[in-house]
Amino acid sequence: MKKSKEKSALILGVSGQDGSYLAAFLLAKGYRVVGASRDAQMSSFANLKRLQIYGRVELESVSLNDFRSVLQILKKVQPNEIYNLAGQTSVGLSFDQPVESFESISIGTLNLLEAIRFLDIPIRIYNAGSSECFGNTEGVAATEETPFRPRSPYAVAKAAAFWHMANYREAYGLFACSGLLFNHESPLRPERFVTRKIVNGACRIAKGSGEVLQLGNIEVERDWGWAPEYIGAMWRMLQQENPEDFVIATGETNKLADLVREAFDMVNLNWKDHVTTSETLFRPTDILTVRADPGKAERKLGWKAKFKMKDVVRMMVEEELKNI
């Protein structure tokens, strides 16, 4: 049972990069933290163990696609705050698994909102939106008012979840908000994400692996930030008097080729000697340039990214070198 003045938070997707950092962040603030995954008994929760908080997070099983399962977890935990970070997280994988991607992201979010409405309890809910919703903005920096033009199954699912949140906020008065987070990285990223693939590859090559790193389109431009500090923006959204959606980003855009060069420079190598590109790794549709205007987050949340792409690459390379 939670203490009378102790806030409780339910993190859906606690085993992932953002969920693990968020759990550590909330524990440091004195929260009771309950983490949920599809099968808590079978999950390794390696990230929680890596952050040395595994024994401090209460773990529960829940299937967001099952409305009864969602109702049960909300009645059992009775959280003050919910952070919905669950669902398929890879843009590339969503082209291979479009139905699973849509159901795990969009239907899961809808079940959460409907369960909160059904139980009629004052829960504040944060939903992990994505910059992918904006699609191609023709180089214009995206704000909270920029129209969505999703270009992947993942982005379509995230856009649907965003509008579920907005609808329940407006129709039923729920404290529901979404963070439109641009790319944010850390050593907890799985290697299927290109930033971790690049960093790990550069470090292995520097240690003498002799491999050639194969990448897709390195001319794409993205806004890369540091995941541990993006967690603070999520929390701040739920502490506001009124629920609103926010773009969370650094405001700085770089080419993937620049990130590759930075990673190899960190290990004193010329990336052009160790990297090739292949069209087989290109996505069916992709966004060439991504730009963000996170001004609203700074004005209303008092949040501003401290770390930019070069900082992120440096910290990831340093951590990876320790582990090799």
pLDDT digits (tens, 9 = 90+) for 227-238: 999 999 999 999
Of all residues in the chain, the percent with pLDDT exceeding 70 is 98
Domain extent for 216: 189-223+252-292+301-323
pLDDT digits (tens, 9 = 90+) for 248-280: 999 999 999 999 999 999 999 999 999 999 887
Residue 2, pLDDT > 60, answer no
Average pLDDT along the chain: 93
Q: Is residue 46 located within the same domain as residue 173?
A: yes
The answer as to whether 78 is a domain residue is yes
* Residue 259 CB contacts under 8 Å (≥ 6 apart), including other chains: 195, 198, 224, 309, 313
The answer as to whether 1 is a domain residue is no
- Cβ(255)–Cβ(217) below 8 Å: no
Q: Is residue 39 located within the same domain as residue 56?
A: yes
Strands (E), the chain: 8-12, 32-37, 58-61, 81-84, 124-130, 175-181, 184-185, 213-215, 221-222, 225-226, 246-248, 254-255, 275-277
Cα separation, 61 vs 69, in Å, equals 9
Is the pTM value of this prediction over 0.75? yes
pLDDT digits (tens, 9 = 90+) for 287-305: 889 999 999 999 999 999 9
Cα separation, 230 vs 179, in Å, equals 10
Q: Annotated active-site positions, please?
A: 130, 132, 154
Mean pLDDT calculated for residue range 31-40: 91
Half-sphere exposure for 157 (CA within 13 Å, toward CB): 26
Q: State the DSSP code for 206.
A: H
